[in-house]
Amino acid sequence: MVPVNQRTHAWAPPPTALMTDHYELTMLQAALHSGTAHRRSVFEVFARRLPAGRRYGVVAGTGRLLEGLSSFRFGDEQLRFLAGTGVVNDATLGFLADFRFTGSISGYAEGEAYFPHSPLLVVEATFAEACVLETYFLSVLNYDSAVASAASRMVGAAAGRPCIEMGSRRAHEEAAVAAARAAVIGGFDSTSNLEAGLRYGLRTVGTAAHSFTLLHDSEEDAFRAQLQSMGLGTTLLVDTYDVGTAVRRAVELAGPELGGVRLDSGDLVAQAAWVRELLDSLGNHRTRITVTSDLDEYAIASLNAAPVDAFGVGTRVVTGSGAPTSSMVYKLVAREDGSGRLRPVAKAAKGKASVGGRKHALRRRDEHGRATHELVGIGAMPEDDGDDRPLLQEFVRDGELLEGWTGPEGVVRARERHAASVAELPPAACRLSEGEPVLPTVLGPGAGA
Amino acid sequence: MVPVNQRTHAWAPPPTALMTDHYELTMLQAALHSGTAHRRSVFEVFARRLPAGRRYGVVAGTGRLLEGLSSFRFGDEQLRFLAGTGVVNDATLGFLADFRFTGSISGYAEGEAYFPHSPLLVVEATFAEACVLETYFLSVLNYDSAVASAASRMVGAAAGRPCIEMGSRRAHEEAAVAAARAAVIGGFDSTSNLEAGLRYGLRTVGTAAHSFTLLHDSEEDAFRAQLQSMGLGTTLLVDTYDVGTAVRRAVELAGPELGGVRLDSGDLVAQAAWVRELLDSLGNHRTRITVTSDLDEYAIASLNAAPVDAFGVGTRVVTGSGAPTSSMVYKLVAREDGSGRLRPVAKAAKGKASVGGRKHALRRRDEHGRATHELVGIGAMPEDDGDDRPLLQEFVRDGELLEGWTGPEGVVRARERHAASVAELPPAACRLSEGEPVLPTVLGPGAGA
């Protein structure tokens, strides 16, 4: 175990403490004033629903938020800003200057499939310590899970052929790094994002852009330059001018060892077929075809019968394929009362009511290991029938970060966990048509009974 | 003027150089190999189309990308990563180690309205210097402009009532900071994001969450704590239990000086009306009503006749209200040939053809100052008819950053510019129904003739 507020990797996130809504700190101030700030509290992250029509969601971001927790500190610059703008009073500034998270955090491990009301993160701490983390935790989980959930569907549609994340330019520059990481957790093979390679050890790949061809006096010059510099195993972009001409030229220059060609426009289904035929007719049976151009899970599925070897996915994966955020919320479900007892609390707001009480969760599985229900127990663990799988893992214990969740190792483990988690879902999980969550959530004190 | 690769603000962005697609660096390597890397080149950022049905787009991110350009350096950590993973060869590493941008950048100033094919950024440099910036520049512009474009529609729908950006928790934590900035450029009044306050001097605001009420033994205790700590001018959240009871209690405790109440659930149109009546009947004519809860431009428009004083907007503004990215591309449009002359270049790829030649742009205006056309001249400035407005501004000249575009000052100027730019558009620009861009783009060598 390492202290949670200490850097654990070469790459260190910037200060995260002010990536926080103004009201988190004014609530803290008012709670310090009323003497309730130090009441023991339980906050939970969950989603009331999945994005419309989705069969399952995928948790991602947990490792990142644990990394960012280590730099969740109010330093001089942050405190000066808060003092100068009068956001909070001196008593609150004093509390923030000494802020260390000393509570405990458990939740669904990264990569795990989730369903409505799954308790994705359970934060047990004083109100003061847990309250100030709300915005940052939700930002990380809402975005990363949106990308991983979309990526997982695309990987399912690709039916074993590799998907490559190439969407950096269509997302905020830091979100792009997180998206690459989340896509790989969701089953993507690799990414084009170099920073994600640096921070998380992801494999990075790339081909070439049209500008490279246009820079040269002819397509032949461009192809020759790329082949000489990058080797015959490189992938040439063949649709700058005429695809047929380009493919013939590529084979002339590279011979049978040409690694691949990339198609980035036009009717990909038809084009992949005749480019494959052309390559084969020229003897280039091992030259691979990568397709790009506004792919999403539906476009990938439509290419099911096409001779495509790899899918490069951009915009749609980094924007969650229609669901760019995950609607996860962070709610107080229990807190200490005046007599020191922890009691469940819930709001009644119309359409947004919450369920009080700390949650526990099991994935119910039948005797073949196939998942059948999401059991969420209120205040107690649902009864295990022998084949069930407990879902809550411990990440932080009394302010100490437990090992294995962060850094490159966390990503590798999350990717494996995701594959196993999806594999145990009913086959309907992979349907792209709109439908209900593939597992029903059973929520209650007697959940699983 | 200050050198572009030098910090200009207290807040400094992290190293941005690897927020880059793998292929940018391998193309650089191949171009260094073929001797074309140092050819003078012109790259342009533009969008082939606006998001479906939108009448105009809003440029945002320019100030941020100029700030990030100052930390676009390949330091030891970055070079070690590239060497260790073998992404590029030693010659390329040598070039990157010394990388400084020495070219020039002009474009549409931040806040400006834009249309299909508007030349939003024009980068003039060697191929090598311009190529490596592609991914980072597009990431910033595509996200920030998506948010500013959505924000501008919401501000139009709010018809003078303030919109407050509160979506941090529904976006990647760094994207959230950029979103706050872009929303304010698009006309939002303020944000809940404290980091955006620190970096860009934005006004931050906040109310309270349901958790604050639930933390206390009663709603009355919670209201009293907030009023005592934050003052009577604070805004109380009144829908944790029963809205009517909460409003009466708030007025009892705070009296006629109560600043505001927030409604976050239910039928906001009906509720705002009866809460206004209730407040008035209790003598609280000056207590303001803020509404939140999944607002977007359509929901805001539907509240047009409701007695709402401020709109808190979350998810929909930070996710671009259905268009989370802007489809902007970065294309080589001209480059030096073997004889040292700059010549236009364009690709022919199906559905993605580009138009060669450096662009110039004017907003054609009639004698009343009303915009009528977007004139984009290829290779030369369109002829000005006297009322037209030139659109390209100079940001970086020979590697030196010009003043006024970055930092808090850049945001203030962009916000003013945006208001003026939208004000000169035809009234149809503010229609929320789907339609064509409100100005036609005239693109050609004789544009404007």
Residue B231 lies in a domain: no
Domain boundary among the residues A261, A296, A322 is at A322
For B206, name the nearest residue in chain A, comparing CA atoms only: A23
pLDDT, one tens digit per residue, over A230-269 is 999 999 999 999 999 999 999 999 999 999 999 999 999 9
Q: Which residues of A touch B215 (CB under 8 A)?
A: 31, 36, 39, 41, 127, 332, 335, 345
Residue B281 lies in a domain: no
Q: Which residues of A touch B172 (CB under 8 A)?
A: 139-140, 143-144, 171-172, 174-175, 178
Do residues A18 and A85 both lie within one domain? yes
Residue A168 identity = S
Do residues A136 and A12 both lie within one domain? yes
Q: How many CB atoms lie within 10 A of CB B48?
A: 13
pLDDT score at A1: 45
Global ipTM? 0.96
Tokens 């029963």 belong to residue: B242
Contact yes or no for A214 and B332 at CB 8 A: yes
pLDDT score at A219: 97
Token digits for B371? 């915009």
Contact yes or no for A169 and B139 at CB 8 A: yes
Residue A98 lies in a domain: yes
- Secondary structure tally for chain A: helices H, strands E: 15, 20
Do residues A86 and A168 both lie within one domain? no
Do residues A237 and A130 both lie within one domain? no
Do residues A230 and A166 both lie within one domain? yes
pLDDT at B403 over 60: yes
Q: Which residues of B touch A168 (CB under 8 A)?
A: 19-21, 135, 139
CATH for A298: 3.20.20.70
Number of domains into which chain A is organized: 2
Do residues A286 and A165 both lie within one domain? yes
pLDDT, one tens digit per residue, over B170-196 is 999 999 999 999 999 999 999 999 999
A121-126: strand order across its sheet: A2-3, A400-401, A392-397, A104-108, A121-126, A40-47, A328-336, A342-344
Residue B232 lies in a domain: no
d(C-alpha A130, C-alpha B202), whole Å: 26
Residue A447 lies in a domain: no
CA angle B171, B63, A12 (to 5 degrees): 50
d(C-alpha B355, C-alpha B353), whole Å: 7
Do the beta carbons of residue A198 and residue A186 sit within 8 Å? no
Do residues A86 and A167 both lie within one domain? no
d(C-alpha A22, C-alpha A135), whole Å: 10
Do residues A196 and A247 both lie within one domain? yes
pLDDT, one tens digit per residue, over B36-55 is 999 999 999 999 999 999 99
pLDDT, one tens digit per residue, over A164-182 is 999 999 999 999 999 999 9
Residue A25 lies in a domain: yes
| Number of Cβ pairs < 8 A linking chain A and chain B | 354
Question: Which residue in the set A68, A82, A135 is minimally distant from B169, CB to CB?
Answer: A135
Q: Give the pLDDT mean for B195-215.
A: 96
pTM of the model: 0.96
Q: What does chain B come to in residues? A: 449
Do residues A117 and A156 both lie within one domain? no
pLDDT, one tens digit per residue, over B253-273 is 999 999 999 999 999 999 999
Token digits for B119? 């030349």
The Cβ-side half-sphere exposure at B292, using a 13 Å CA radius, reads 25
d(C-alpha B131, C-alpha B176), whole Å: 27
Chain-centroid distance, C-alpha A174: 13
Per-residue pLDDT in tens (0 to 9) along chain A, 449 residues: 444 544 334 566 778 999 999 999 999 999 999 999 999 999 999 999 999 999 999 999 999 999 999 899 999 999 999 999 999 999 999 999 999 999 999 999 999 999 999 999 999 999 999 999 999 999 999 999 999 999 999 999 999 999 999 999 999 999 999 999 999 999 999 999 999 999 999 999 999 999 999 999 999 999 999 999 999 999 999 999 999 999 999 999 999 999 999 999 999 999 999 999 999 999 999 999 999 989 999 999 999 999 999 999 999 999 999 999 999 999 999 999 989 999 999 988 778 878 999 999 999 999 999 999 999 999 999 998 889 999 999 999 999 999 999 999 999 999 999 999 999 999 999 999 999 999 999 998 755 43
pLDDT score at A5: 43
Do residues A218 and A265 both lie within one domain? yes
Do residues A79 and A218 both lie within one domain? no
Write the CA distances from B354 to B122, B128, B332, B376, integer angstroms: 15, 21, 9, 14
Residue B257 lies in a domain: no
pLDDT score at A348: 82
The Cβ-side half-sphere exposure at A36, using a 13 Å CA radius, reads 26
Q: How many CB atoms lie within 10 A of CB A80?
A: 13
CA dihedral A137, A355, A102, A196 (to 10 degrees): -20
Residue A227 lies in a domain: yes
Do residues A111 and A157 both lie within one domain? no
Nearest-neighbour CA in chain A from B209: distance (Å): 8
Q: What mean pLDDT, rounded, does chain B reach? A: 95
CATH for B88: 3.20.140.10
Q: For residue A131, give every residue at least 6 positions away whose Cβ sits within 8 Å of its Cβ, in sequence order, or none.
A: A24, A27, A28, A31, A41, A43, B211
What phi and psi, each to the nearest 5 degrees, are found at residue B377? -90, 140
Range of the domain at A210: 148-322
Contact yes or no for B172 and A169 at CB 8 A: no
CA dihedral A66, A68, A70, A73 (to 10 degrees): -140
